[in-house]
Chains A and B, each alone.
Chain A
Amino acid sequence: MSLSFAPFLVSQVVAGRFRKFARVNNLTELEKWYKYAQVFSVSLLVFEAIFSNTNMTKWIWSLFLLALLYFSLRQKELLQLRMFFIAFVPYVVVSLLSDFTQTITPGFFKSSELYFNNAIGLSLIWMFAILYSQNRQYKAAEKERIKRLQEDELNRAIAIRKVELEGLVAERTAELTQQKEELEQAFAELRNTQSQLIQSEKMASLGELTAGIAHEIQNPLNFVNNFSEVSSELLDEMQVELDKGNIKGAKLIIGDVKLNLEKINHHGKRADSIVKGMLLHSRASSGQKEPTDVNALADEYLRLAYHGLRAKDKTFNAKFETDFDETIGKINLVPQDFGRVILNLLNNAFYAVTEKKNQIGDGYFPTVSISTKKIGTDVEIKVFDNGNGIPQKIIDKIFQPFFTTKPAGKGTGLGLSMCYEIITQIHGGELKVETKEGEGSVFIIHLPFKNKN
């Protein structure tokens, strides 16, 4: 006798396949049932082996398979495994038919047993062929599924990364915005500091001027006082002459008094213009251009600069010369700003000659001169000094802000850069320098005569 390997195999394969499917699709209840089916199948085979009773068990096998088929067909989730049913339905049908035939008409069965066996064999081959192809398809599908899963995972990872990156970008953007704001604030502070520096530079030059201003006001005031005193004496004398009846003598004195009054007036105006100049210098620039007498402005600042230095350094002395072209008349310019340029250039010139005087001493005659000249449509203003000149290697830097050759604390380095800006930006002119080391420098301003605005 032989054991029922075929139904055992079929039941194991079918239950195993469904069980796997249930497990993969998380159908725990279903999986449990197929597990029982497998256990039952094994038990039945063992039972068969022990009791060697295939006549009875073959019915059980058939019913078991039928029940398995029926149960599986009832499960909606398993409908997608249609091909699998097609694979093992023929075997169940053929084996049932074979069993029935054997029981009902054993004679007929005996004569056609070969056919039944062949049919069973064929149905088994059918089943395994289909299972084989199904398995291949399944494996391919599985491969596809895993691939898709990996892709999904990749996509998910990408999505996560994307979110992370977006967060990072937002963070960086916030940082940049903050930095931008900080920079803007720093820039505003710098602007502020710059205007403060310019103001303090102005005030520093005014401070340097104070002594010069005092001297320049004191001188005309002395004349005002002295001439008024002497005039008073002259009037006393005139009274005496009149008393004596000396009309001619009295008239002579009147001439003198009149002359003195003119001098008083002249010196009064001189003091007045100096005070006005000082106020002009300390006041914030109006930025308004107005017709200005460049010669008078230059002369005034020359005196202020000279006496300012003279008062600061008692040993300082220099010759200053002027050469003014009286045909210039008035030029449209911003007097405060232009005055500062002249003052700056003059201060530098006086500084240069003082330096040289300190080095050389006797035999050197410090000279500073300022000249104006009308050249075509331009006015040329030259500030000359016979100091040490400017070394060639720093000549390109002298108009840069904060560049200074003066010792720390002595110069802001803003003077010439401000001059340059005032001449080129505000007045549409030119500021150049010609220098020879050891011989001196001359700063040349060219102003267009027809100054727009």
Chain B
Amino acid sequence: MARILVVDDERDIQTLFEQHFRKEIKKGELDFVFAFSGEEALEYMKDQEQEAVLILSDINMPGMSGLELLKHIREKHEKPPPTVMIITAYGDNYNYRLAMQLGADDFLTKPLDFNSLKEKLKAIIQ
């Protein structure tokens, strides 16, 4: 079972993910954990380093941004390197280039297309 860490300051994201992926969750294919800030995400990863296979993070959050979180992850969590997908409402070139430079595996824009996200997640996990 692959654990996915979703980082977003919008708490309703949790409900949304749980409903969209309820079949996968029910079947035990995917397991979601949620953090509502970059700091919270780092805290989680400190405790359970090996489990976060994939991280989905929003960029625009109060405090630590998603890009800063990505930088921290790439600097400190080398083994095994988790897949990091950056999600943002600002789908501009600047953020895209910066995310790629920092080592993001994918760059998604809001509103999320859950069907394509589902396929991407499945592809990465298998």
Give A contacts to B, CB under 8 Å: 215, 218-219, 221-223, 225-227, 229-230, 233-234, 256, 259-260, 263, 267, 306-307, 310-311, 314, 317-320, 365
> A215 contacts B10, CB within 8 Å?
no
> A215 contacts B90, CB within 8 Å?
yes
The CA-CA distance from A306 to B63 in the complex, in Å, is 11
Known interface pairs A222-B89, A226-B112; 17 further A-B residue pairs with C-beta atoms within 8 A, sorted by A's residue number: A215-B90, A218-B89, A219-B89, A222-B110, A223-B16, A226-B16, A227-B12, A230-B20, A230-B114, A234-B19, A260-B15, A263-B12, A307-B60, A314-B90, A314-B95, A317-B62, A317-B68
- Name the interface size band of chain B: 20 to 34
Please tell me if B65 contacts chain A, counting CB pairs below 8 Å.
Answer: yes
> A310 contacts B114, CB within 8 Å?
no
B110 surroundings in chain A (CB, below 8 A): 218-219, 222
A263 surroundings in chain B (CB, below 8 A): 12, 15
B20 surroundings in chain A (CB, below 8 A): 226, 230, 233
Q: How far is the CB of B34 from chain A (nearest CB, A)?
A: 15
The CA-CA distance from A307 to B59 in the complex, in Å, is 12
Which of B19, B95, B110, B114: most chain A Cβ within 10 A? B19
Q: Is the interface of B mostly helix, strand, loop or mixed?
A: loop
Q: How far is the CB of B98 from chain A (nearest CB, A)?
A: 8
> A256 contacts B19, CB within 8 Å?
yes
Q: Is the interface of A mostly helix, strand, loop or mixed?
A: helix
The CA-CA distance from A222 to B15 in the complex, in Å, is 13
> A260 contacts B64, CB within 8 Å?
no
> A222 contacts B111, CB within 8 Å?
yes
B19 surroundings in chain A (CB, below 8 A): 230, 234, 256, 260
B65 surroundings in chain A (CB, below 8 A): 317
B15 surroundings in chain A (CB, below 8 A): 259-260, 263
B111 surroundings in chain A (CB, below 8 A): 221-222, 225-226
The CA-CA distance from A311 to B94 in the complex, in Å, is 11
> B114 contacts A215, CB within 8 Å?
no
B60 surroundings in chain A (CB, below 8 A): 215, 307, 310
Interchain CB contact (< 8 A) of A319 among B12, B62, B95, B98: B62
Instruction: Kindly count the residue-residue contacts between A and B in the assembled complex, taking CB atoms under 8 Å apart.
Output: 58
B89 surroundings in chain A (CB, below 8 A): 215, 218-219, 222
For this complex, 13 residue pairs linking A to B, each with C-beta atoms less than 8 Å apart, are A215-B60, A218-B89, A221-B111, A223-B12, A226-B16, A226-B20, A230-B16, A233-B20, A260-B15, A263-B15, A314-B92, A318-B63, A319-B62
Q: CB-defined interface of B11-30 with A at 8 Å, one 1/0 digit per residue?
A: 01001100110000000000
> B112 contacts A319, CB within 8 Å?
no
Across the two chains, which residue of chain A brings its CB closest to B90?
A311
The CA-CA distance from A233 to B118 in the complex, in Å, is 14
Interface members, chain B 9-64 (any A CB < 8 Å): 10, 12, 15-16, 19-20, 60, 62-64
B112 surroundings in chain A (CB, below 8 A): 222, 226
A320 surroundings in chain B (CB, below 8 A): 62
B92 surroundings in chain A (CB, below 8 A): 314
Q: How far is the CB of A193 from chain B (nearest CB, A)?
A: 37
The CA-CA distance from A281 to B90 in the complex, in Å, is 24
> A317 contacts B64, CB within 8 Å?
yes
B12 surroundings in chain A (CB, below 8 A): 223, 227, 263, 267
In order of increasing CB-CB distance, the 6 nearest A-B pairs are A222-B111, A319-B63, A230-B19, A317-B65, A314-B94, A222-B110
The CA-CA distance from A318 to B16 in the complex, in Å, is 27
A222 surroundings in chain B (CB, below 8 A): 89, 110-112
The CA-CA distance from A226 to B12 in the complex, in Å, is 11
> A318 contacts B90, CB within 8 Å?
no
Q: How far is the CB of A22 from chain B (nearest CB, A)?
A: 116
Q: How far is the CB of B108 from chain A (nearest CB, A)?
A: 12
Q: CB-defined interface of B55-98 with A at 8 Å, one 1/0 digit per residue?
A: 00000101111001000000000000000000001101011001
The CA-CA distance from A123 to B73 in the complex, in Å, is 149
The CA-CA distance from A229 to B92 in the complex, in Å, is 25
Across the two chains, which residue of chain A brings its CB closest to B38?
A317
The CA-CA distance from A230 to B17 in the complex, in Å, is 10
> B114 contacts A223, CB within 8 Å?
no
A256 surroundings in chain B (CB, below 8 A): 19
The CA-CA distance from A9 to B68 in the complex, in Å, is 137
